[in-house]
């Protein structure tokens, strides 16, 4: 329990962002070779420019002081004592954080915040990944150079609001959040919103099917669960890339299962892009991407844990875009055990600059 004096505005003398050095990797992989109790200095840059701010790696975490970065990033922090929350703002984006709680608010979107923010000795300690994602910043950690680069993206190209489906009965608990755009014109708004709403309704239908499955296991706990959510990976120029996650637990099962999917839209027409659309005609993008994924598998030590050999990226490969990367990903059990989670492979668009088709080449800075 936080003592009341710790919750005063004057108590927040500094803000520290932290994230694990093995972010996105299996828990037994130690990226960068750091070990518990060893501290390594970290150089912090913004858009590749040294800020003079230094962080540190210790006990498998990168810790970065954020207050000195607010200027270069265009951020500000306010503490609202009545509601006991910290609000980080950057342009039109905002993120409300509550010390000790694993949920926050990015605008009207209730988001998971892991690990929960905390107050310690006058410092507000926040998860840097959640802050960066919700305030529109890219984040690249280079363990070899001990460098963290933060890249502030432009203001959103289109307004995104959150729609929510919540219901609970004795047999099923549902919490589904999905995005909706507006202001692009009726036909474009509809072309984007319809598949996103269809995904939400299918998640709801899947929950109701889970109830039917659980009914066949009379000794099982009574309540199944669906938690579906989204994040905006890119909202820039004429591109909108949305990542959708659907966690479903069938009562009586050993554990639930998370399935991730994504759509990247043309904001001019509402068209959903396919992976091949990112590349110029005639480019063997499958070979290019396969080589990069195999390299990352080797580099991250993921070869030994493969459930089945990784041979090639497929034309139907799941993917999404960020402000500087093409991210390929694989669901639980697709190539790695359940505990490994969803494995993502970011590929820098700058390295693909010569083979990207318009309008994607604008991201290859």
**Residue 234: C-alpha distances to residues 137, 248, 301 (Å):** 10, 26, 29
- The pLDDT, as a whole number, for residue 219 is 62
Task: Tell the CATH topology of 4-152.
Answer: Copper Amine Oxidase; Chain A, domain 1 (3.30.457)
pTM, entire model? 0.88
pLDDT for residue 3 is more than 50: no
- The pLDDT, as a whole number, for residue 174 is 96
pLDDT tier for residue 220 given thresholds of 50, 70 and 90: low
CB 11 within 8 A of CB 5: yes
Could you tell me the two tokens for 149?
A: 């680069």
Per residue in 283-332, pLDDT (tens digit) is 999 999 999 999 999 998 999 999 999 999 999 999 999 999 999 999 99
Per residue in 9-27, pLDDT (tens digit) is 445 678 899 888 654 322 2
CB 310 within 8 A of CB 294: yes
46-60, 252-266, 290-304: range with lowest mean pLDDT: 46-60
pLDDT tier for residue 178 given thresholds of 50, 70 and 90: very high
What's the CA angle centered on 323, arms 298 and 30, to 5 degrees? 30
CATH number, span 159-273 = 3.30.565.40
Choose the CATH number for 276-363 among 3.40.50.10540, 3.40.50.360, 3.90.640.20, 3.60.20.10. 3.90.640.20
pLDDT for residue 212 is more than 50: yes
CB 245 within 8 A of CB 254: no
Could you tell me the two tokens for 221?
A: 């706990």
Same topology between domain 4-152 and domain 159-273: no
- The pLDDT, as a whole number, for residue 25 is 28
pLDDT for residue 7 is more than 50: no
pLDDT tier for residue 252 given thresholds of 50, 70 and 90: confident
Could you tell me the two tokens for 2?
A: 């936080």
* Greater pLDDT, 251 or 110: 110
- At residue 166, φ and ψ (nearest 5 deg) are -130, 130
172-182 vs 224-236, strand pairing mode: parallel
Bridge partners (DSSP) of residue 263 are: 242
Neighbours of 88 (CB within 10 A): 24
* Omega of the bond leading into 115 within 30 degrees of 0 (cis): yes
- At residue 276, φ and ψ (nearest 5 deg) are -65, -25
- At residue 306, φ and ψ (nearest 5 deg) are -60, 130
The overall average pLDDT reported for the chain is: 88
pLDDT tier for residue 217 given thresholds of 50, 70 and 90: low
- The pLDDT, as a whole number, for residue 30 is 29
CB 328 within 8 A of CB 319: yes
- The pLDDT, as a whole number, for residue 41 is 87
Between the two ends of the chain, the Cα-to-Cα distance in Å is: 46
Domain spans of the chain, in order of start: 4-152, 159-273, 276-363
- The pLDDT, as a whole number, for residue 216 is 64
pLDDT tier for residue 359 given thresholds of 50, 70 and 90: confident
Per residue in 108-133, pLDDT (tens digit) is 999 999 889 998 877 889 999 999 99
Contacts of 187 (CB under 8 A, 6+ apart): 270
CB 124 within 8 A of CB 117: yes
**Residue 60: C-alpha distances to residues 22, 53, 64, 130 (Å):** 7, 20, 13, 18
Per residue in 54-96, pLDDT (tens digit) is 998 877 788 899 989 999 999 999 988 888 899 999 999 999 9
Could you tell me the two tokens for 227?
A: 């938690």
């Amino acid at each position: 329990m936080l003592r009341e004096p710790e919750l005063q505005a004057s108590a927040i003398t500094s803000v520290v962002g932290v994230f694990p050095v093995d972010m996105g990797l299996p828990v037994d992989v130690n990226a960068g070779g750091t070990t518990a109790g060893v501290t390594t200095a970290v150089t912090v840059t913004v858009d590749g420019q040294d800020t003079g701010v230094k962080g540190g790696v210790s006990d498998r975490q990168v810790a970065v002081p954020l207050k000195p970065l607010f200027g270069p990033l265009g951020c500000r922090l306010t503490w609202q004592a009545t509601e006991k929350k910290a609000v980080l703002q950057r342009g039109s984006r905002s993120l409300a954080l509550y010390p000790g709680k694993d949920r926050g608010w990015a605008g009207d979107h209730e988001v998971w915040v892991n690990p929960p923010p905390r107050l310690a000795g006058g410092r507000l300690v926040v998860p840097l990944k959640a802050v960066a994602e919700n305030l529109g910043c890219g984040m690249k950690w280079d363990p070899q150079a001990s460098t963290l680069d933060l890249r502030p993206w432009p203001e959103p190209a289109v307004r995104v609001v959150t729609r929510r489906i919540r219901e609970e009965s004795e047999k099923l608990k549902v919490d589904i959040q999905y995005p909706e755009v507006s202001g692009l014109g009726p036909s474009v708004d509809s072309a984007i919103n319809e598949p996103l709403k269809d995904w939400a309704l299918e998640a709801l239908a899947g929950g109701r099917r889970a109830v039917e499955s659980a009914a066949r296991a009379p000794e099982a706990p009574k309540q199944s669960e669906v938690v579906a959510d989204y994040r905006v990976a890119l909202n820039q120029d004429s591109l909108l890339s949305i990542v959708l996650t659907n966690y479903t637990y069938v009562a009586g099962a050993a554990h639930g299962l998370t399935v991730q999917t994504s759509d990247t839209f043309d904001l001019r027409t509402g068209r959903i892009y396919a992976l091949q659309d990112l590349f110029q005609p005639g480019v063997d993008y499958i070979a290019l991407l396969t080589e990069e994924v195999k390299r990352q598998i080797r580099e991250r030590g993921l070869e030994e844990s493969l459930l089945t050999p990784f041979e090639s990226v497929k034309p139907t490969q799941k993917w999404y875009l960020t402000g500087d990367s093409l991210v390929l990903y694989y669901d639980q059990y697709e190539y790695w055990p359940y505990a490994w989670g969803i494995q993502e492979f970011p590929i820098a668009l700058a390295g693909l600059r010569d083979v990207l088709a318009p309008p994607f080449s604008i991201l290859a800075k």
